[in-house]
Amino acid sequence: MTALTDAAPATATARLPMVGLLRALLLIEAAAGLALAVFLSLVADAVAAQSGIADETNVRFAAGAAFLFALFAAIASRGARRRRGWAWTMAAILQVLLAIGTGIAIMVAEWHPAYLVGFALATAVMLVLSVASVRRALGQA
């Protein structure tokens, strides 16, 4: 009986709270991206009636981009859960795209303080991605 140990099996992975925070932030981005895609799709009809078909096409294109962003954020969250190395890279690229997209929205549309949310989410995820335990867990260290 003394040969039995209380150690966890070698196949079990340790829980890392920062990876959980990364997953939560990516899922928040996915939900926000999906909500933005739905909102922009609804707004596109009103834009078409007011400004014309060209502007409607631009808004629908932005809705499609928001949907793809949401999809890839959910995929990156799943990859982080399974400790895949590509999840770190995908999450970092998504944050760059989020910052660029927010910057484009600021230049194209009328300024609104809600745009700061895009920059805040990108900053928060990049800070979590730079933590040593997250980098090590996702194979970047």
Q: What residues have CB less than 8 Å from 85, skipping those under 6 apart?
A: 138, 139, 140
Q: What is the pLDDT of residue 2?
A: 56
Q: Is the separation of the CB atoms in 21 and 128 below 8 Å?
A: yes
Mean pLDDT by 10 residues, the chain (141 residues): 49 75 97 96 88 87 96 97 95 96 91 92 97 93 75
pTM of the model: 0.85
Residue type, 131: V
